[in-house]
Structure 1
Amino acid sequence: MTTRQRLADAIQRAASRAVSQESAGWMLASVTATYTDGTVDITTSRGPVERVRRMKSYSAPIVGDTVKVDYNPDGNWIVIGALASS
């Protein structure tokens, strides 16, 4: 195996790992339930997520709110806040 082939294989393995690992990001979601402990249930384009911690500034969540959520590869979610309604 040539050096070039080993390098190509290493790059392919790294690319496969990167694709298989979910990176951090954000998305929009809909609030489906609220709780008094600072959490809400949401539905995202990936499906439902239960008991997501919300920011202190999002103090009055309402079922049906469209919210911005952040997430990371470890499975941690946080609701940033509601979008303004039109």
Structure 2
Amino acid sequence: MSPRQSLVDAVQQAAERAVAQGAAGWLLASVTATYGDGTVDISTARGPVAKVRRLKSYSAPAVGDLVRVDFNADGNWIVVGALATS
């Protein structure tokens, strides 16, 4: 690969990372800890996130729950609720 192509690839990868980090979205996560203040710790494909606020409708969080989490570009996270298990 030429030096120019390496530079082009590096710039493209950096731009893709910046867009992915700055975009809002949702992920699946596992609850790793629960707290009485309405927050939980979660583990996502992006890594662990501590003290994420949960919706009141998700009233009985438990360690090991598979949950949907929403996030925005400002770095705010919210646990929407647990997914049904079979």
**What TM-score do you get using the length of structure 1 for normalisation?**
0.77
Q: CA deviation at 1:19?
A: 5.8
User: What do residues 26-70 of structure 1 show as CA deviations (whole Å, max 9, x unaligned)?
Assistant: 010000000000000000000000000000000000000000000
Q: How does 1:30-41 map to 2 (within 5 A)?
A: 30-41=30-41
The alignment-based identity, stated in percent, is 70
Question: Which residue is equivalent to 2:49?
Answer: 49
Three-state SS of the structure 2 residue aligned to 1:85 is: coil
Structure 1 stretches of 5 or more lacking a match? 1-15
Match of 1:20 among 18, 27, 33: 18
Q: CA RMSD for the aligned pairs?
A: 1.3
CA distance in 1, matches of 2:42, 2:18: 24
Structure 2 stretches of 5 or more lacking a match? 1-14
Q: CA deviation at 1:20?
A: 1.6
Higher alpha-carbon deviation: 19-28 or 43-52: 19-28
CA distance in 2, matches of 1:46, 1:68: 14
| Equivalences, count | 70
Q: Following superposition, which runs of at least 4 residues in structure 1 exceed 3 angstroms of deviation?
A: none
Three-state SS of the structure 2 residue aligned to 1:42 is: strand
1:29 correspondence with 2:65: no
Higher Cα Rg: structure 1 or 2? Answer: 1
**What TM-score do you get using the length of structure 2 for normalisation?**
0.77
User: What do residues 11-32 of structure 1 show as CA deviations (whole Å, max 9, x unaligned)?
Assistant: xxxxx4x862420000100000
Question: Which residue is equivalent to 2:5?
Answer: none
